[in-house]
Amino acid sequence: METISADVAIVGAGGAGLRAALALADAAPKLRIALISKVYPMRSHTCAAEGGAAGVIKPDDSLAQHFEDTVGGGDWLSDQDAVEYFIREAPKELLQLEHWGCPWSREPDGSVAVRPFGGMKLMRTWFAADKSGFHILHTLFQTSLKYTSIRRFDEYYATDLLVEDGRCRGLTAIEMRSGQMRHFDAGAVILAGGGAGRMFAFTTNGAIKTGDAMALAYRAGVPLKDMEFVQYHPTGLPSTGTLLTEACRGEGGVLLNRHGRRFLQDYGMGPETPLGHPVLKTMELGPRDRVSQAFWHEQRKGNAVSTRWGDAMLLDMRHLGEKKIDERLPLVRDMSISYMGVDPVKDPVPVRPVVHYMMGGIHTDIKAATPLAGLFAAGECACVSINGANRLGSNSLTELLVFGRRAALSSLEYLESQGAHRGAAEGAAEKALGRIRELLQRAGGGESVAGLRKEMMHAMEQHAGIYRSGEGLAAACAKLAELRRRYRNLQLHDRTNVYNTDLLQALELGSMLDCAEAVVQSAAARKESRGAHQRLDFPERDDRNYLRHSLAYYRGAEAPGIDYRDVVITKSKPGVRDYSGEHARAHA
Amino acid sequence: MIQLEVLRYNPETDQEPRFQRYEVPFRDDWVVLDALNHVKEEIDPTLSYRWSCHMAVCGSCGMMINAEPKLACKTFVRDYSGVIRVEPLRHFPVERDLITVIDDFVAKLARVKPWLMPKEAPANGEYRQTPAQLKRYKQFTLCINCMLCYAACPEYGLIPGYLGPAAITLAHRWNRDSRDGGREARQEEIAAKEGAWECSFVGACSEVCPEHVDPAAAIQQVKIENTVDWYKDHLMPWLKK
């Protein structure tokens, strides 16, 4: 097996991975950086983020206010020391991107413009029209081309972390072009592989979001934290799940049921605000969990709009006018016309809640370090946790940057503390190769990738959605255990080497099954309702028993072990999340 | 039902590329990518192609659809009658099935230095850039690197060394950014023999661009600016001190 030596290997080349690579290249010009990704960097799913990135910059805003919004938005499950660090670093990172040339939208005086976002008390979301993630990703990618010390391995699929003497010493990855396994011998590894939304049938996530980095860490013994918290974004197109950004509502769009009523006022987010004059942190600018939950109730009451793709609500942006829609929301208009046949300038667009983001992920501390020495993680695959039980829109793009950089600096500190790297974990690499060979050549298994995947998606959609029950989760746990068992009888149809997507999808399915089991097991164990985790059988938040992070530990063929860890609280005691108009006025 | 005719090629098992026909259900809300996914899931798991976002922003699923470069995720099957023929993007080596080798573009992109070379250090905070200044280059930032323009460009087909529409457009994007002072450094690639002057202004790149970036316009602007440079250098040398 060919061995490639690096000081730091980064898995994933989206926003977090690229930011980490740039921080390493800047801080230590002689460092050998291996940037490994299963896709070319510009294909990473960061490109699909639309609305923007939060960071305090305007004179009327304050770090304390961003802190309060984030912690309350997360239903007090965020680690407050991590949130403080995040919020302090956020403006610096957004400014750094500006200095790298990101085409942020501007005010008439040439300063960076900000827009309102859900759950945020003040306007602090930096944006580049409605392609903010796309521009962040391409700015980072193009800037990374400047550095010869960043050696890219595009279209390499990471299969295993190599652990020796309790330290992460690199990884193995398949070069898709040749089908050959490569051994990356690295002093430290940073995981930045994104989320796992593809566990669900209806998601905004691209095909590549299969939880690979989470599964890598999990199988290497690092717990997955708070996996039960899966974010539904309220406004996806019912036909494809394509995201229509929260900025639609930030700019003034409203949500209607089939009677034309702005129904959020019936779910503690009223009274109704004047059309065209959105009020921050209330009605349509409530947080994603509350808005998605309100739709679920409307659907139950028979107030949803029927479409050929199922029930929906209406996102009405007509009053914004063509000029503003074209200037601020061009992608939204294009997507609505292309995939729904509805022009938001002329008609309300049917939308419904759709799986969007994993609050949970690889357990890291405030320095982006995992409990496994030499292993760091950042971005959606990681759980620091700043997002708690519900992430606020526009915090995740900033999180990529802040903790991508933090992971890089921590890995450098780690390398310095270690002295000379002691060489390769060759035995472990050979074992990883053996596992892939066995899968590729296995005969007579009878299970198919597409078949198992469909059953997994169905179980997740049915039992791990916006509202959950003990009974449903128990069924999902049993189903996931069964699917993981049957996965061992998976049989590939393609046994060739060059760009074998049958093999690739089989490995991705393995990642998703492990992550999905962690989700449903953690959800079954959390007998309360908090943020995005809502239990019909335990409808109240229970701070006495569950003001804690869940940790799911991999146990091979068995179900994961679930443990808990205290939330770090520095200054905000758990309180009531109030998104009513009265509250908005009182605090104006 | 619709008939999909897909180019297949596996370098390990095929002497040369061949077409394979698949019958898939017709749905008026399906794009070609949905039809390919149906094949992959229900009929033939060995078919290989790239895709991810299904919303025309990641740039993965560029392919020839009835001989035109298209994004499979934004090309509706309802717009075709008869057989839909799907092939890998023209002008690129085929790695396998619908997957092309795009090393050439990735290398060229790096060569045009697509990063900010600041004209001056920023003052405290952000560089000021008015909406009008942003508008001068914004359109050219929208390139998703999908390679459709390269597949459409007759010059690139003839002269593989040609930098090509996307790389030139992205260089031009940085040149027009009010924060940037790197035009001179990029000129060695852009004004070189296989730079912008290779373009014969057919305009096919702009016709196929799914993001309406209009690379042909960028290339023409580059040519005009280079011509102005030439006149300044040769006829008004006192301007260049």
Task: With CA atoms as reference, report the closest residue to B114 among A106, A372, A100.
Answer: A100
| Strand partners of residue A34 | A9, A151
Task: Please state, as a whole number, how many other Cβ atoms lie within 10 Å of the Cβ of residue A544.
Answer: 7
Contact A523/B at CB under 8 A: no
Contacts of A492 in chain B (CB under 8 A): 45
Start-end ranges of CATH 3.10.20.30 in chain B? 2-100
Res B161: pLDDT: 95
CB interface of A with B, residues 9-68, below 8 Å: 39-40, 42-45, 47-48
Q: Contact A39/B45, CB-based, under 8 Å?
A: no
Start-end ranges of CATH 1.10.1060.10 in chain B? 103-239
| Strand partners of residue A183 | A3, A172
CB interface of A with B, residues 479-498, below 8 Å: 492-494, 496-498
The C-alpha atoms of residue A238 and residue A203 are separated, in whole angstroms, by 10
Contact B61/A at CB under 8 A: no
Contact B155/A at CB under 8 A: no
Is B142 or B233 the better-scoring residue by pLDDT? B142
What angle, rounded to 10 degrees, do the helices at B215-235 and B183-190 form? 100
Q: Is the pLDDT of residue B165 over 70?
A: yes
Contacts of B73 in chain A (CB under 8 A): none
Q: Contact A450/B40, CB-based, under 8 Å?
A: yes
Q: Indicate the class that CATH gives domain B2-100.
A: alpha beta
Contact B43/A at CB under 8 A: no
The C-alpha atoms of residue A355 and residue A231 are separated, in whole angstroms, by 6
The C-alpha atoms of residue B56 and residue A330 are separated, in whole angstroms, by 13
Contacts 24+ apart (CB under 8 A), B41-46: B41/A450, B41/A454, B42/A450, B44/A493, B44/B20, B45/A448, B45/A449, B45/A450, B45/A492, B45/A493, B45/A494, B45/A502, B45/A505, B46/A493, B46/A494, B46/A496, B46/A502, B46/B10
Q: Is the peptide bond before B215 cis (omega within 30 degrees of 0)?
A: no
Find out whether A186 and A171 touch, Cβ atoms under 8 Å: yes
Strands (E) across A237-329 are located at 254-256, 305-307, 310-316
Find out whether A130 and A394 touch, Cβ atoms under 8 Å: no
Q: What is the mean pLDDT of residues B164-176?
A: 98
Find out whether A532 and A231 touch, Cβ atoms under 8 Å: yes
The DSSP secondary structure of A257-276, one letter per residue, reads: -TTS--GGGGGTT-SPPPTT
Q: Pick B134's closest partner by Cβ from A106, A134, A207.
A: A106
Q: Contact B58/A145, CB-based, under 8 Å?
A: no
Task: Please state, as a whole number, how many other Cβ atoms lie within 10 Å of the Cβ of residue A71.
Answer: 26
To the nearest 10°, report the CA torsion of A69, A72, A74, A78. 90
Res A421: pLDDT: 65
Q: Contact A498/B45, CB-based, under 8 Å?
A: no
The C-alpha atoms of residue A499 and residue A503 are separated, in whole angstroms, by 9
Kindly report the CATH number that applies to the domain delimited by A233-354: 3.90.700.10
Q: What is the mean pLDDT of residues B134-145?
A: 98
Q: Is the peptide bond before A396 cis (omega within 30 degrees of 0)?
A: no
Q: Contact B145/A42, CB-based, under 8 Å?
A: yes
Res B229: pLDDT: 85
> Tens-of-pLDDT digits for all 588 residues of chain A?
999 999 999 999 999 999 999 999 999 999 999 999 999 999 999 999 999 999 999 999 999 999 999 999 999 999 999 999 999 999 999 999 999 999 999 999 999 999 999 999 999 999 999 999 999 999 999 999 999 999 999 999 999 999 999 999 999 999 999 999 999 999 999 999 999 999 999 999 999 999 999 999 999 999 999 999 999 999 999 999 999 999 999 999 999 999 999 999 999 999 999 999 999 999 999 999 999 999 999 999 999 999 999 999 999 999 999 999 999 999 999 999 999 999 999 999 999 999 999 999 999 999 999 999 999 999 999 999 999 999 999 999 999 999 999 999 999 999 999 876 666 688 999 999 999 999 999 988 899 999 999 999 999 999 999 999 999 999 999 999 999 999 999 999 999 999 999 999 999 999 999 999 999 999 999 999 999 999 999 999 999 999 999 999 999 999 999 999 999 999 999 999 999 987 767 665
CB interface of A with B, residues 325-384, below 8 Å: 331, 334-335, 338-339
Tell me the pLDDT tens digit for each residue of B8-39.
Answer: 999 999 999 999 999 999 999 999 999 999 99
What would be the CATH architecture of the domain defined by A428-566? Answer: Up-down Bundle (1.20)
DSSP structure class, residue A282: S
Res A582: pLDDT: 79
Contacts of B47 in chain A (CB under 8 A): 501
Res B234: pLDDT: 84
Shortest distance, CA A488 to any CA of chain B (angstroms):
18
The C-alpha atoms of residue A82 and residue A391 are separated, in whole angstroms, by 14
- List active site positions of A: 233, 249
Fold of B103-239: Fumarate Reductase Iron-sulfur Protein; Chain B, domain 2 (1.10.1060)
Runs of H (alpha helix) within B99-145: 103-111, 131-138
Res B231: pLDDT: 86
Is B182 or B237 the better-scoring residue by pLDDT? B182
| CATH of range A2-107+121-231+357-424; options 3.40.50.1010, 3.50.50.60, 2.60.40.10, 3.10.310.30 | 3.50.50.60
* Domain boundary assignment for chain A: 2-107+121-231+357-424, 233-354, 428-566
